[in-house]
Amino acid sequence: MFKNQPKGLIPAALSNMGERFGYYIMNAVLVLFLCSKFGLSEETSALVYSFFYAGIYLLSLVGGVIADRTRNYKGTIISGLIVMTAGYLILSIPILSTSDNISWLLPLTCFALFLIAFGNGLFKGNLQAIVGQLYDNPRYSAQRDSGFQIFYVFINIGGVFAPLIAPMLRSWWLGVHNLAYNAKLPALCHEYLSVTDNMSVENTNNLYELITATGGDAAGDIQAFCTQYLDVFNTGIHYSFIASVAAMLISLFIFLASKKGLPTPAAKVKEQSVQISDEERRAMASEIRQRMLALFAVLGVVIFFWFSFHQNGTSLSLFARDFVKTDSIAPEVWQLINPFFVIVLTPVVMWFFGSLKKRGIEISTPKKIGIGMGLAGLAFLFLAIFSNAMDYPSAETFRSLPVAESQSMLAGPWVLIALYFFLTVAELFISPLGLSFVSKVAPSHMQGLCQGLWLGATALGNLLLWIGPLMYNAWPLWQCWTVFLIVCLVSMGVMFAMVNWLERVTSDAPAAPAAAIDTEEKDIL
Spell out the domain ranges in the chain: 9-264+279-511
Lowest-pLDDT range of 261-265, 271-275, 403-407 = 271-275
CA 17, CA 281: separation in Å to the nearest integer? Answer: 40
* CA 259 to mean position of chain CA atoms: 25
What CATH class does 9-264+279-511 carry?
Answer: mainly alpha
For residue 367, how many other CB atoms are within 10 A of its CB?
18
Confidence band of 89 (pLDDT split at 50, 70, 90): very high
| C-alpha distance from residue 313 to each of 26, 95, 166, 324, 332 (Å) | 11, 24, 15, 16, 9
Q: What are the tens digits of pLDDT across the range 234-269?
A: 999 999 999 999 999 999 999 999 988 888 655 544
Which residues neighbour 396 within 8 Å (Cβ) at sequence distance 6 or greater?
A: 473, 474
The answer to whether 434 touches 454, Cβ cutoff 8 Å, is: yes
Kindly give the residue spans of alpha helices, DSSP state H, lying in 310-413. Answer: 315-323, 337-358, 365-389, 395-399, 403-408
Grouping H, G, I as helix, E, B as strand and the rest as coil, residue 324 is strand
Please tell me which residue, 350 or 284, carries the higher pLDDT value. Answer: 350
Q: What are the tens digits of pLDDT across the range 286-328?
A: 778 888 888 888 989 889 888 998 887 789 888 988 998 866 6
How high is the pLDDT of residue 280?
A: 61
CA 109, CA 89: separation in Å to the nearest integer? Answer: 11
Query: How many residues appear in the chain?
Result: 525
CA 124, CA 84: separation in Å to the nearest integer? Answer: 11
- pTM of the complete model: 0.72
Beta partners for residue 411, in sequence order: 324
> Strand ranges (DSSP E) for 10-168?
none
Instruction: Please name which of 298, 291, 457, 295 lies closest in space to residue 372, comparing C-alpha atoms.
Output: 298
CA 338, CA 348: separation in Å to the nearest integer? Answer: 15
- The Cα angle at residue 118 between residues 120 and 65, in degrees rounded to 5: 85
Lowest-pLDDT range of 413-417, 452-456, 486-490 = 452-456
How high is the pLDDT of residue 22?
A: 92
Confidence band of 118 (pLDDT split at 50, 70, 90): very high
Which residues neighbour 377 within 8 Å (Cβ) at sequence distance 6 or greater?
A: 485, 488, 489, 492
Confidence band of 519 (pLDDT split at 50, 70, 90): very low
For residue 398, how many other CB atoms are within 10 A of its CB?
18
Mean pLDDT of the region 15-35: 89
| C-alpha distance from residue 382 to each of 41, 133, 318, 388, 439 (Å) | 28, 40, 17, 10, 34
Lowest-pLDDT range of 167-176, 339-348, 501-510 = 501-510
Beta partners for residue 324, in sequence order: 411
Instruction: Please name which of 494, 492, 497, 469 lies closest in space to residue 376, comparing C-alpha atoms.
Output: 492
The answer to whether 329 touches 410, Cβ cutoff 8 Å, is: no
- The Cα angle at residue 469 between residues 36 and 95, in degrees rounded to 5: 20
For residue 514, how many other CB atoms are within 10 A of its CB?
13
CA 440, CA 507: separation in Å to the nearest integer? Answer: 9
Which residues neighbour 318 within 8 Å (Cβ) at sequence distance 6 or greater?
A: 31, 42, 395, 469, 472
pLDDT at 330 over 60: yes
pLDDT at 445 over 90: no
CA 455, CA 59: separation in Å to the nearest integer? Answer: 9
CA 62, CA 59: separation in Å to the nearest integer? Answer: 5
How high is the pLDDT of residue 511?
A: 44
pLDDT at 270 over 70: no
Instruction: Please name which of 182, 177, 232 lies closest in space to residue 206, comparing C-alpha atoms.
Output: 182
